[in-house]
Chain A
Amino acid sequence: MERAKTPRLVQAAAGLGLVTVLGGAKAGPDPFDAAHWRQVFARPDHAPMPDGNPTTPDKVALGAKLFDDPRLSGDGTVACSTCHQAELSFTDGVPRHGGLDGQPLDRRTPPLWNMAWGLSWFWDGRAASLEDQAAGPIENKREMAGDLAGAVRTLAADTETVRSFARAFPEDPAVTRSNLLKALAAFERTLVSPETRFDRWVKGDDEAIDSDEKAGLRLFVGKAGCVSCHTGWRFTDEAFHDVGLPGQDQGRGVVLGLKAADNAFKTPSLRERVWTAPYMHDGSLATFEDVVDHYAERVVERPTLSADLPRRIALSPKERAQLVAFLNTLSSEDPPRPASLPARTMVLGADVPAIAATTVGQKDRRFTPGAILLKVGQALKIVNDDTRTHNVRIDGPGLSVSSDAQNPGDAITIGFDQPGQFQAICGIHPDMRLAVTVEPMTKAAAQP
Chain B
Amino acid sequence: MKRRKIWANLGTAVLMTTPAATQAGMLPAQPAGIEAPAGQGTIHLAQHQGHGKAVKAAPDGEGGEGGGEGGGGAQLPAGLHLARGIEMIRGHLIVGGELVEAGRWADALPHFLHPEEEIYGSLRDDLKAFGIGPFQTALKSLSQTVKAKNKEAYARARATVEERLAAAESAVLAKEENKSYFVLEAALETLQQAADEYEEAVEKGRIANVVEYQDARGFVFEIDRLVGTVADALAAKNADAAKAIRAGLDDLKATFPAVTPPQKPAKDASQFLASVAKFELQVGNFR
A96 to B64 CA separation, bound complex (whole angstroms): 36
Select one of B39, B140, B160 contacting A65, CB under 8 A. Answer: B39
Nearest-CB residue, chain B, relative to A86: B37
Asked whether B271 is an interface residue with its Cβ less than 8 Å from the other chain, the reply is no
Q: Is the CB of A287 within 8 A of B37?
A: no
A278 to B145 CA separation, bound complex (whole angstroms): 13
Given contacts A65-B39, A86-B36, A275-B141, 11 further A-B contacts (CB under 8 A): A61-B38, A61-B39, A64-B39, A68-B40, A86-B37, A88-B144, A88-B145, A92-B153, A275-B137, A286-B156, A286-B160
Residues from chain A with a CB closer than 8 A to the CB of B150 are 85, 87-88, 92-94
Q: A87-B45, A87-B148, A277-B156 are in contact. Are A190 and B38 (CB under 8 A)?
A: yes
Considering the complex, which residues of chain A in the window 136-174 have a beta carbon less than 8 Å from any beta carbon of chain B? none
Residues from chain B with a CB closer than 8 A to the CB of A278 are 156
A67 to B40 CA separation, bound complex (whole angstroms): 10
A287 to B157 CA separation, bound complex (whole angstroms): 10
Residues from chain B with a CB closer than 8 A to the CB of A223 are none
Residues from chain A with a CB closer than 8 A to the CB of B160 are 277, 286-287
Considering the complex, which residues of chain A in the window 54-69 have a beta carbon less than 8 Å from any beta carbon of chain B? 57, 60-65, 67-68
Q: A94-B153, A191-B37 are in contact. Are A328 and B140 (CB under 8 A)?
A: no
Residues from chain A with a CB closer than 8 A to the CB of B152 are 92-94, 98
The digit string for A170-202, where 1 denotes a CB below 8 A from any CB of B, is: 000000000000000001001100000000000
Residues from chain B with a CB closer than 8 A to the CB of A75 are none
Q: Which of A's residues lie within 8 Å of B, judged by CB?
A: 57, 60-65, 67-68, 81, 85-88, 92-95, 98, 187, 190-191, 274-275, 277-278, 286-287, 289, 321, 324, 328, 331, 334-335, 337-338
Q: Which of B's residues lie within 8 Å of A, judged by CB?
A: 31, 34-40, 43, 45, 133-134, 137, 140-141, 144-145, 147-148, 150, 152-154, 156-157, 159-160
Q: Is the CB of B39 within 8 A of A277?
A: no
Nearest-CB residue, chain B, relative to A286: B160
Residues from chain A with a CB closer than 8 A to the CB of B38 are 57, 60-61, 63-64, 187, 190, 338
Residues from chain B with a CB closer than 8 A to the CB of A92 are 150, 152-153
17 contacts across the A-B interface (CB closer than 8 A): A57-B38, A65-B39, A65-B40, A81-B37, A85-B148, A87-B144, A88-B145, A92-B153, A93-B156, A94-B150, A94-B152, A190-B37, A275-B140, A275-B144, A286-B156, A289-B133, A338-B38
Would you give the shortest CB distance from B40 to chain A, in whole angstroms?
Answer: 6
Q: Is the CB of B145 within 8 A of A93?
A: yes
Residues from chain A with a CB closer than 8 A to the CB of B153 are 88, 92-94
Would you give the shortest CB distance from B129 to chain A, in whole angstroms?
Answer: 15
Nearest-CB residue, chain A, relative to B152: A94
Q: Is the CB of B45 within 8 A of A335?
A: yes
Residue from B39, B154, B156 with most neighbouring chain A CB atoms (10 Å) = B39
Would you give the shortest CB distance from A198 to chain B, in whole angstroms?
Answer: 14
Q: Is the CB of A93 within 8 A of B148?
A: yes
Select one of B31, B39, B137 contacting A274, CB under 8 A. Answer: B137
Nearest-CB residue, chain B, relative to A191: B37
Nearest-CB residue, chain B, relative to A278: B156
Q: Is the CB of B133 within 8 A of A321?
A: yes
Nearest-CB residue, chain B, relative to A88: B148
Would you give the shortest CB distance from B62 to chain A, in whole angstroms?
Answer: 9
Would you give the shortest CB distance from A107 to chain B, in whole angstroms?
Answer: 16
Residues from chain B with a CB closer than 8 A to the CB of A328 are 134, 137
Nearest-CB residue, chain A, relative to B143: A335
Nearest-CB residue, chain B, relative to A81: B37
Q: Is the CB of B140 within 8 A of A334?
A: yes
Nearest-CB residue, chain B, relative to A95: B156
Residues from chain B with a CB closer than 8 A to the CB of A324 are 133
Q: Enumerate the 4 nearest inter-chain pairs by beta-carbon distance, A residue then B residue, closest first.
A: A93-B153, A61-B39, A64-B39, A87-B148
Would you give the shortest CB distance from B233 to chain A, in whole angstroms?
Answer: 31
Residues from chain B with a CB closer than 8 A to the CB of A275 are 137, 140-141, 144
Q: A93-B156, A334-B140 are in contact. Are A67 and B37 (CB under 8 A)?
A: yes
Residues from chain A with a CB closer than 8 A to the CB of B40 are 64-65, 68, 86
Select one of B34, B133, B156, B157 contacting A335, CB under 8 A. Answer: B34
A93 to B157 CA separation, bound complex (whole angstroms): 8
Would you give the shortest CB distance from A413 to chain B, in whole angstroms?
Answer: 49
A21 to B190 CA separation, bound complex (whole angstroms): 54
Residue from A62, A88, A187 with most neighbouring chain B CB atoms (10 Å) = A88
Would you give the shortest CB distance from B42 to chain A, in whole angstroms?
Answer: 10
A103 to B74 CA separation, bound complex (whole angstroms): 50
Nearest-CB residue, chain B, relative to A93: B153
Residues from chain B with a CB closer than 8 A to the CB of A93 are 141, 144-145, 148, 150, 152-154, 156-157
Residues from chain B with a CB closer than 8 A to the CB of A61 are 38-39
Q: Is the CB of A337 within 8 A of B35?
A: yes
Nearest-CB residue, chain B, relative to A94: B152
Select one of B31, B34, B37, B157 contacting A277, CB under 8 A. Answer: B157
A248 to B147 CA separation, bound complex (whole angstroms): 35
A144 to B161 CA separation, bound complex (whole angstroms): 32
Nearest-CB residue, chain A, relative to B60: A333
Residues from chain A with a CB closer than 8 A to the CB of B36 are 64, 86
Residues from chain A with a CB closer than 8 A to the CB of B34 are 86-87, 335, 337
